[in-house]
Chains A and B, each alone.
Chain A
Amino acid sequence: MSHDNFPNLAMVSNQACLLTFSQVISEATSNYIVQVTQHLSTLAGIVDLVPSYTTLLVVFNDDDYDRFAIFKAINQAIDAIDPNDFSLKDQREVVIPVYYGKEVGPDIEDVAKHCKLSVDEVIKHHHETTYRAYAIGFTPGFAFLGNTPEELHVPRKTTPRLKVPIGSVALAENQTAVYPSVTPGGWQIIGRTPVNLIDWGSENLALIAIGDSVRFEPISRDEFLVLGGQLDGF
């Protein structure tokens, strides 16, 4: 992180620039990005901020900034943050209840086979790990959570499903995620959560924000149904 060339700032267009913090994904980099994002969000004339694994896209109002003014504003914001203080203040922990199993997780047996584990071991590895939300995108509220333990690394499906049910909990490579809405998707589905990942009526809109710490908690079929879970959807 203390590399001389980082953070690197580059113009993308006359309305956007990209800050690159590192070439490699790490929690420290992600913490730094969250802090810079929070800092820049208070500046007038910043239209949108798109944090990701190692970068932050800054979209600005070109009435307020030209390329010199935006560089100056961003550099001042970065100078105001101590790059050695990577601890996140008030980091949130989000707990997501999951009904695991083949009834709602049609790929769980394939995953177990691929990883040379039993289905119970797949569930155990998945829920005993604490993940970090590195990026949000693909669809609103879709949080890329990493890293899954090595035992659970599986490739994406060769043919993506045209329709993945809402709440599906899935694995791909070293990541896990929950599908917030019905979309096509190629990740391996191992279970389903009854909670909404996105709610346009709520204050935060999305349940998971970048930088959050996320845990999964196994629940029974009955608990899943009591919490409003739906079994169909494929």
Chain B
Amino acid sequence: MAFKVIKPGLLALLQDLGRHGHQSIGLTTGGPMDEIAFRWGNALLDNDSNSAQIEITFGMLTLEAQAATSIAITGADLDATLNDKSLTPWQTYAIKKGDVLAFHQPVWGLRAYLAVKGGFLCEPTLGSVATVVREKIGGLTGKGDKLQKGDVLAYQTCHEHQQRSVPRLAIPHYGNKEIPVILGYQYQSFSALDRANFFSSDYVVSSHSDRMGYRLEGKAIHSELNGIISEGIAYGAIQIPKDGQPIVLLQDRQTIGGYPKIGCVTRVGGGILAQQKPGDRIQFTPITVDQAERERHLQMARLAQWR
């Protein structure tokens, strides 16, 4: 059966772990902005880790259930209610036919994930349901549409419910504003003073931030490279354009570009960054590839052991 969209909210998108293998023709990956929250959503319901969920940005989304199932909510606290009763994120809830599930406004964080038992049923485009609005690909229609009033999000009816929640220690600290950065191969092209400024200044999230990239405002820094030959852009790459204001490239990033990059934000750090709203302040903190590998393995091991 299905959830029917009563109110579509600001931006609600079907996502899985992304559309990989097509960057060589310029197609971006899409996928969840907060990957750890997404993975926990599926783990809570014993779903395949790639099962489709809804990424809800900001809130204002109301859904009506047409059949029983189990759901999990992870990521931001968007003041979710089930039949007007408050829900706490990072756990599962039983859903009955006729239930009304609503996400109001952020209490903390920006993006919540709604997972359903077995995942939302949706025909993939190029192997993935990930919605990329800009490229008009993925999602319910296959044409990159965000959720709209009247949309029907199908799932397999399920009457068995297991009450589960994510261990407290495994929940990311969205209040932690330190974003880890792996120093890039162009790091040496920034002066010692600029590097010091980059890691010791506060940066404010600009209102021109979206799924493509987070623009930051603060101390301007400059590379000694005067532009580079366009090259592939990894997830999390921190571009420094001519105005010196960093742009962190995230899930819907363009695939190639020619600005110098001071470093790269990790998946975990990118997830925390993606939970910040315009006006929020962050700091960058340097880590090594070795530390990033260990951080990632710890996260993945926690998930695997819990499953």
> Which residues of A are interface residues toward B (Cβ below 8 A)?
10-16, 18, 25, 37, 47-57, 59, 62-63, 66-67, 135-142, 144, 181, 198, 200, 205-206, 209-210
Query: CB-CB < 8 A to A14: which residues of B?
Result: 182, 266, 289, 292-293, 296
Partner of B234, one of A53, A57, A140: A57
Distance in Å: Cβ of B55 to nearest Cβ of chain A: 20
B293 contacts A66, C-beta separation under 8 Å: yes
Distance in Å: Cβ of B144 to nearest Cβ of chain A: 11
Interface size on B, residues (CB 8 A): 39
B22 contacts A205, C-beta separation under 8 Å: yes
B267 within 8 Å of A (CB atoms): yes
Would you give the 0/1 interface string for B242-268, flagging 1 where the beta carbon is closer than 8 Å to chain A? Answer: 000000000000111100000010110
With A53-B230, A62-B296 as given contacts, are A12 and B185 in contact (CB-CB < 8 Å)? yes
Partner of B232, one of A55, A67, A139, A181: A55
Which B128-168 residues have a C-beta within 8 angstroms of A? 135-137
Distance in Å: Cβ of A13 to nearest Cβ of chain B: 4
B289 contacts A50, C-beta separation under 8 Å: no
B21 contacts A136, C-beta separation under 8 Å: no
B296 contacts A11, C-beta separation under 8 Å: no
B20 contacts A47, C-beta separation under 8 Å: yes
Minimal Cβ-Cβ distance residue in B for A47: B20
Query: CB-CB < 8 A to A181: which residues of B?
Result: 136
Distance in Å: Cβ of B124 to nearest Cβ of chain A: 12
B256 contacts A135, C-beta separation under 8 Å: yes
> Which residues of B are interface residues toward A (Cβ below 8 A)?
20-27, 29, 125-126, 135-137, 182, 184-185, 229-237, 254-257, 264, 266-267, 289-290, 292-293, 296, 300
B26 contacts A11, C-beta separation under 8 Å: no
Query: CB-CB < 8 A to B292: which residues of A?
Result: 13-14
A16 contacts B235, C-beta separation under 8 Å: yes
Given contact pairs A62-B293, A138-B26, a sample of 16 additional A-B residue pairs in the complex whose CB atoms are under 8 Å apart? A12-B184, A13-B182, A13-B234, A14-B289, A15-B267, A16-B264, A37-B24, A48-B21, A48-B23, A50-B24, A51-B232, A53-B230, A57-B232, A136-B256, A140-B22, A141-B25
Distance in Å: Cβ of A88 to nearest Cβ of chain B: 16
B266 contacts A49, C-beta separation under 8 Å: no
CA A75 to CA B56, docked complex, whole Å: 42
Distance in Å: Cβ of B226 to nearest Cβ of chain A: 13
With A54-B229, A137-B230 as given contacts, are A11 and B300 in contact (CB-CB < 8 Å)? no
Minimal Cβ-Cβ distance residue in A for B126: A200
A52 contacts B256, C-beta separation under 8 Å: yes
B229 contacts A25, C-beta separation under 8 Å: yes
B27 contacts A140, C-beta separation under 8 Å: yes
Distance in Å: Cβ of B234 to nearest Cβ of chain A: 4
